[in-house]
Amino acid sequence: MLSTLGIVLAYKSLYGIFYDSLTGLPNRSLFIQELGERSRRHQPQSSTAAVLFVDLDRFRLINQGLGHDVGDQLIVSTSQRLRSCLRPDMKLARVGGDEFAVMLPTLKHLGEAKAVADQIQRQLTQPFQIADHSIYSTVSIGIAYNQLADSMPGEDLLQDAQTAMYHAKVLGKAQHQVFARSMGLQARQRLEVETHLRQAIKNQEFQLYYQPIWSLDTETIFGFEALVRWQSPEQGLIMPDKFITVAEETGLIIPLGHWILQEACVQIQTWNQQFALLKPLIISINLSSHQFDQPDLVEHFESILMESGVDTACVKLEITESAIMSDVEEAIAVLNRLKSLGIQLSLDDFGIGYSSLSYLHCFPVDTLKIDRSFVNQMEEVRVNKEIVKAIVILAHNLGMSVVAEGIETEVQKNILKELKCEYGQGYVFSKPLPQDKATELIQQSLAK
């Protein structure tokens, strides 16, 4: 009796070392062992093995928004769907919170691994029905493979697949990428940015610049777009395209975005009190899709508006099409709740990538911002002028106003006036300015 109990206990503790208790799948260390064994078994024949590293794209938000029980059930359901995509000889493991790995022990060509990745992606984009919630999920997948003649340690192969997975995330998620050596360097650089970024948020090294938005017919300042900059003591001024993506992937965009909203609201309130303007200035603030997905966004933003004492009609949030196209119905609900705070909404970078045209009339949006890629080449590329013209007409028909971004020449400015575009922003008027220079610009415009 005692010895049976001993065996059961020993089995349980051994099981706990090598298997994940939630899904019953092998864990990371067993997966790496199995990879190693596979490579020993197959030597010296040179056949290829591949590892797929699969990561759920928005798992943290699901966990935060719907609770850990739902999160756990999603992990279990995901593991079952993954299993259903695999041949019996392929090994599946749970190697992290929302991370799975698949070993394809023999591979004739790389296309096979890609086909499995495609199949996984298709399976996992079908909505999950968990505790009254329809959960839409996507995955990013990294693929690494080795000729066994290389006899690469299993751990390295898994690491390479993970690096490729990060690359897939950076490129926009919901896709797969095959590992390349250059990705290793990029991954290290990314890690460095992440470490510095954490430090920078603690040390408050961020600053808002303000780029004026002009009324094209009166050529007066209508408002400003707040654009974040990182003033690094070591590297000087760093532009947002160097750190916003990392901030989004690491969740650091949440505290950073909170600060940006606060700072911009306080600034516009200060300017509108300081200057006797005919019309109060409007501040446009960029909202990352990660902020948009936060379940408590509206409550958070409401408290920022209250604390700053800003007139909510002077605040406009800029949201990109991609942020709202992943779940249109949910997005419309969030946009309506934001609108109910009394603020305005703008669709940023309009016209590129996603085609939200068929939904546009459902979005409670006040303004379309035409992407600068169309504005920039209106003179040279005739079709761009036609596109701008069509967007202006479309917006007006839907009762929206239009801001043209990236106006760099007088000719572009005049074409836009002709097309009845109301507002414009770009180097022809002014580059983004630090707070003191923007204040001077308002003063000068009043003196005219």
CA distance 224 to 318: 12
- Tokens 């690494």 -> residue: 144
Q: CA separation (Å) from 28 to 9, 49, 118?
A: 22, 17, 23
DSSP label at residue 422: -
In angstroms, the CA 291 to CA 258 distance is 9
| Minimum separation from the CB atom of position 405 to Mg ion (A) | 5
228, 246, 338, 365: residue in contact with ligand C2E (rule CB under 6 A) = 228
Is there binding between residue 321 and Mg ion (CB under 5 A)? no
CB 377 within 8 A of CB 384: yes
Interaction between residue 263 and ligand C2E (CB under 6 A): no
Q: Out of ligand C2E, Mg ion, none, which partner does residue 20 contact, by CB within 5 to 8 A per kind?
A: none
Partner whose footprint covers residue 232, from Mg ion, ligand C2E, none (CB < 5 to 8 Å by kind) = none
The secondary element (H helix, E strand) that includes residue 316 is: strand 315-320
Of the residues 11, 134, 379, 427, which one makes contact with ligand C2E according to CB under 6 A: 427
Cβ nearer to ligand C2E, comparing 141 with 304: 304
Residue 240 interaction partner, one of ligand C2E, Mg ion, none, beta carbon < 5-8 Å per kind = ligand C2E
Question: Does 240 contact ligand C2E by CB under 6 A?
Answer: yes
Contact status: 318 vs Mg ion (CB under 5 A): yes
Task: Please name the helix (run of DSSP H) or strand (run of DSSP E) that holds residue 339, with its range, or none.
Answer: helix 328-339
Contact 248, 288 (CB under 8 A): yes
| Cβ nearer to ligand C2E, comparing 197 with 226 | 226
Q: Which of 241, 329, 380, 410 binds ligand C2E (CB under 6 A)?
A: 241
Question: What 3-state class would DSSP assign to 228?
Answer: strand
Length of the chain equals 448
Determine, following the binding rule CB under 6 A, whether residue 227 of this chain makes contact with ligand C2E: yes
To which H or E segment does residue 95 belong?
strand 91-96
d(CA 31, CA 9): 23
Q: Which of residues 272-291 bind Mg ion (CB under 5 A)?
A: 286
Q: Which one of Mg ion, ligand C2E, none interacts with residue 239, CB within 5 to 8 A by kind?
A: ligand C2E
416 binds ligand C2E (CB under 6 A): no
The minimum distance between CB 240 and ligand C2E, in angstroms, equals 4
Residue 348 interacting with Mg ion (CB under 5 A): yes
Which position among 283, 432, 438, 442 is part of the footprint of ligand C2E (CB under 6 A)?
A: 432
Closest-CB residue for ligand C2E? 426
Rule CB under 6 A: say whether 11 interacts with ligand C2E.
no
Q: Tell me the C-alpha to C-alpha distance, in Å, between residue 267 and each of 272, 286, 376.
A: 9, 15, 30
Q: How far is the CB of 282 from ligand C2E (least distance, A)?
A: 15
For ligand C2E, the binding residue among 71, 154, 424, 426 (CB under 6 A) is: 426
Q: Is 434 exposed, middle or buried (0-12, 13-18, 19+ CB in 10 A)?
A: middle
Q: Which residues of 345-369 are buried (b: 16+ CB within 10 A; e: fewer)?
A: bbbbbbbeebebeebbeebebbbbb
User: Segment 330-389, which members bind ligand C2E (CB under 6 A)?
Assistant: 348-349, 372
Positions touching ligand C2E (CB under 6 A) are: 211, 226-228, 239-241, 244, 257, 260, 286, 288, 318, 348-349, 372, 405-408, 425-427, 432
Positions touching Mg ion (CB under 5 A) are: 286, 318, 348-349, 405
